[in-house]
Amino acid sequence: MKNLYLILFCTALLVSCAQRIDGTSEESYRSSMENLKKSLSKEDRRKFEDALQRIAMENINSLDDLANIQEIADDLRGKLDGMAFEEVIAEGERVQMEIDEKNKEQARIEIEELYVKMKNSNEDRSELAKFHVEKSRYYKKKSGVYLISYDPILELTVINGTNQAISRAYFKGTIKSPERTIPWLVQDFNYEISGGLEPNERANWHLAPNSFSEWGTVDAPKDAIFTVEVTRLDGADGEKLFSIDFDEDDQERLGELLNDYPEFVRH
């Protein structure tokens, strides 16, 4: 009976050695890899291949790192030398844990930046609301004698209710019919104010966009309404004073990140 146990032990030892990766040479490496894979089930072979890929890509951070494929292959062969299936899987899991931690930290930083951006935009939004658009009208003005054209006009009446002089104002204009869900046009525009606009000062503007722009080509009915939202104001020095920088893309990105990392949600 003892001899039987000894035989079984030696057989298991030989199988174990045969199923370890031999990285001492390229030939032994390929041969031992093939033998190990042949001994695995389909599911274990998939896990093995996934682990190998993670281990191989551990120190590759850019396309430049892929310049020397042979060096990468040699490093991988040296790293895997002497490993059995379970050890390769464990190493792959370790690499994946490090990747997950790095991704989580990068997500945390981006989430923090987006929260700050949202906070600043919300604070600026209240200031932007003080720059009132009292009147907004869009129409096309007939021009020319022999060659008739219709030039777009944006007519605005604004009052600067902030406590700062404004040198340039930025807007998002929307042309929409009351009974329609989708606007005819949503377009950003801005206007550099000659001489600026002092606090509590009112101004009437007739802006003439390019006739070949979307303002000129849009075919909106006469009952369409033109509404304007102030999105940014520049101060007397020409620098940004207040701005809505947190847009729909930022909101979508923040939602995606928080869906993946709900532990970073702010309540």
Strand order in the sheet with 225-234: 185-197, 166-176, 225-234, 240-243
Fold designation for 130-236: Immunoglobulin-like (2.60.40)
Q: How far is CA 200 from CA 123, 133, 136, 157, 192, in A?
A: 21, 13, 19, 13, 18
pLDDT given at position 14: 43
Q: Domain limits of the chain?
A: 2-83, 104-127+251-264, 130-236
DSSP-assigned letters across all residues of 47-77? HHHHHHHHHHTTT--SGGGGS-HHHHHHHHH
Q: How many CA atoms lie within 13 A of 249 on its CB side?
A: 2
Q: Is the pTM of this model over 0.75?
A: no
pLDDT per residue as tens, the chain (267 positions):
445 444 434 444 444 444 899 999 999 999 999 999 999 999 999 999 999 999 988 877 666 666 677 888 888 999 999 999 999 999 999 999 999 999 999 999 999 999 999 999 999 999 999 999 999 999 999 886 677 788 999 999 999 999 999 999 999 999 999 989 999 999 999 999 999 999 999 999 999 999 999 999 999 998 899 999 999 999 999 999 999 989 889 999 999 999 999 999 997
Two tokens, residue 99:
């990747």
* Partners of 159 in beta bridges: 132, 202
Tokens 């003005």 found at = 141
pLDDT given at position 64: 66
Residue 147's SS3 state is: coil
pLDDT given at position 65: 65
pLDDT given at position 19: 84
